[in-house]
Structure 1
Amino acid sequence: MLTRRDWLLLGLLGGGSSSSLLRAAEHLPQSVTFKGVEKFQQVVARAMAENWAALPMGARVAQFGLALRGTPYVGWTLEIDDRVESPSVNFLGLDCWTFFEVSLGLARMIGRRKSAYGPSDLLREIEETRYRGGVCRGNYLDRIHYLDEWFTDNAARGNIRYVTREVGPVVRLTGRANDEMSLNPKLYRYLRASPALVPQLRQLEARLEKVPFDFIPKDQVAACEGKIQSGYIIGIVTNRAHVYCSHVGLALRTGDGACRFMHASATYKKVVVDKTIHEYLYSVKSHAGIVVGRPR
C-alpha cells in the first residue's frame, strides 16, 4: 500500500514536493552523516548577517561556493556506510559533486527564512536534490549516481532549469554506454558489500542510455560564455568511454567580466576559482564540452 510519502513522490497530492512537507529521511545518525558542524555554523552565520537570502538564486549559490573556497578536496565522500544510504554533508572535505550540491543546498536552505538553521535543515535540501524524485528510503540506488540524470531529474521537479540549448549550439552524444559504475563495482563501498545491487544498477544505466543527451562542444563555449551567469551548474562532458560527464562545478562571473569555473579540484587538492570555463575545458584533452543548469 502506498504511503503519503509515496503519493507525494508520484506527484499525486498537492502542496509541492515531498521534502517541502517532510523532514529529511535521516537513516543514519548525524555523527556519521554530518561532518564539520562548526564550519557549517560559521558559513550560515555569515550568510544571515550579510542577508544572502536576498540575493538572486544564482548569485546566492555562487556566494556559498566562494565561502567554501579552500576546503580540501576529498574523494568518495558520499560512500559513508556499507549498506544504509542517507543524506550526508561533509564540510571537512568536498569532491566535485558534493561541492556544487552543498552550495546549492545552502542557497536553497537560507531562502527558507528561519531564525536559526541546523544540520537537519541542510540534510533536507540535500535529500531533495541528491535522490531520485527527492526521496531517500535508505537504499543505495535511491541516489542519483550519474550527472546527466541529476540534471534531468532536478529539472523535471523544478529545482533547476536545464538551459544548455539556450546557452549555445548543441550536438548529440551517440554510440556510448553509460555504465562506468556497473563495470567497476569494486570501486564503490556499497556495491562491494552488496553485489546483488549491480544488476539493478545496470538496469538504471540502460534506461539512462535511452535518454537523448545534448551538449555544447568545447570549441563553441568561448563564444557563448556571456550567457552563463554566476551560480549556473556546469557539467563537464567527457570523451571517455562508459560515462557522459566526468566533472562538475559552478560558474562565477568575476570583476574583469570573465566567467570562471569554480570547483573542487583534484589537481589543486581544494575548492578553487579556476580558469575561464573554455580555458578549463582546453586544459584537459578528454573534456568534450558542457551542459548547463540554472538553479531555481
Structure 2
Amino acid sequence: MKLKSLFITLLLITNSITAQQITCSAKDKEIFTQKIAQLKKGYTPTADFGKTIVYVGKTFLGTPYVAKTLEIGTKESLVINLQGLDCTTFVENVLAFGLLLKNNKEDFEAYTKYLEKIRYKDGVLNGYASRLHYFSEWIANNQQKGIIKNNTADIGGVEIEKEINFMSTHRDLYPFLKEDKNFEGILQSEKVVSESSFCFLPKEEVKENEESIASGDIIALTTSIKGLDITHTGIATREKDGRIHLLHASSKGQVEISELPLVDYLKKIKNNIGIMISRPQ
C-alpha cells in the first residue's frame, strides 16, 4: 500500500463487515504506541473514571493546538492526529485512551474502534455527515451510546431552544460541503439538532454550582452566536487551589490548564452564555 505524503491508509473492518478508511501517519502510530506505554506504566486502576480522564488528559499537556485536523482529503475518514489537537479531538482522544485503560486494552485496533464510536453518529463512520459536528449533538449521541451522562439539568441547567444552522449558512468555510450530498446531510443534522432543546448552566450560576462539577467532567461552552450551539470544550480538573479549572486544547497554542478557575475563565470568553456538563461513564 502506498504512503501518500505523511499519511498511510489502513482499513478497519467493523462488526457489520463494512470497510472504513483510517488516515494515520507513521509518526502518529508511533506516538500512539509511546502514549499507551506511558499511560499503562503510571496508571492505577480506579472506580472513579473521572480521575482516569484527568490523568490521561494531563499527559497531553503541551501538545500543539491545530485547527481543522479532521478536514483531510476528499472523502471522510477516521483521522488519527496525535501531533496536533483542537478542543474536540483533544476530548475525543482523552476519552478513547481512558476507555482503553478502563477496559485493560492497549492495541491500536481497539483505540480506533473507540474513536470511531465516540466521533460518529451511533458509532459508525458513514460519510461526512455522520460525524458529530455540533457538540450538543455529540453530547446527546454519546449519552445514548452510554459513553457519557449529561448532568447539566441535574446541576441546575435551564432549557434552551435555538435554530442551529451555522455550517449550512457558512458553507464556504467547510470544503467538504462543496458536495451537495454532504451539504444535504448537514442540513438534516441541523434540523435534528434544532428540534432538540438542550440544557445549559447559565454563566452567572456556575460559581454557586461549582462543587457539583467533578474532575473529569466534560465542559462545553454554550454561545449566543447565531446558528451555533457550542464554541469550545475541555475537561474539568480540580486543582490545588480547590477550584475547578479547564484542561483543554487552547486556541492560544497548546493543551493547557486554564490559569484562572473556570468561573473566571468564562467571564473572559466573548459571547459565552454558560456551560454544559457531561460525566464520562
TM-score (norm 2): 0.89
2:179 corresponds to 1:187: no
* Alignment-derived partner of residue 140 in structure 2: 152
CA contact (8 A) 2:206 2:274 kept: yes
In structure 2, relative to structure 1, the CA distance for the partners of 1:196 and 1:22 (3 Å cut) is closer
Partner letter of residue 88 of structure 1? V
In structure 2, relative to structure 1, the CA distance for the partners of 1:37 and 1:24 (3 Å cut) is farther
In structure 2, relative to structure 1, the CA distance for the partners of 1:170 and 1:140 (3 Å cut) is same
* Alignment-derived partner of residue 67 in structure 2: 75
1:50, CA displacement in angstroms? 1.8
1:88-116 Cα offsets, whole Å, 9 max, x none, are 221110000001110011001122224xx
2:150 corresponds to 1:162: yes
Identity across the alignment (%): 30
In structure 2, relative to structure 1, the CA distance for the partners of 1:54 and 1:88 (3 Å cut) is farther
CA contact (8 A) 2:222 2:231 kept: yes
Aligned-residue CA RMSD (Å): 2.1
* Alignment-derived partner of residue 257 in structure 2: 273
1:53, CA displacement in angstroms? 4.1
TM-score (norm 1): 0.84
Query: Which of 85, 92, 105 is the equivalent residue of 1:101?
Result: 92
Q: For 1:127-276, what aligned pairs fall within 5 Å after superposition?
A: 127-137=116-126, 139-167=127-155, 169-174=156-161, 176-192=162-178, 194-267=179-252, 269-274=253-258, 275-276=260-261
1:23-65 Cα offsets, whole Å, 9 max, x none, are 9976335445x75233322221122112344462111111111
1:53-93 Cα offsets, whole Å, 9 max, x none, are 4462111111111000110000001112212x222221110
In structure 2, relative to structure 1, the CA distance for the partners of 1:45 and 1:26 (3 Å cut) is farther
* Higher strand residue share: 2
1:258, CA displacement in angstroms? 1.1
In structure 2, relative to structure 1, the CA distance for the partners of 1:35 and 1:248 (3 Å cut) is farther
Query: Which of 95, 113, 129 is the equivalent residue of 2:104?
Result: 113
1:179-228 Cα offsets, whole Å, 9 max, x none, are 11111122223223x13321231122012111111110000001111111
Partner letter of residue 261 of structure 1? L
Partner letter of residue 164 of structure 1? T
**Aligned residues, how many?**
268
2:112 corresponds to 1:123: yes
Distance 1:234 1:112 in 2: 24
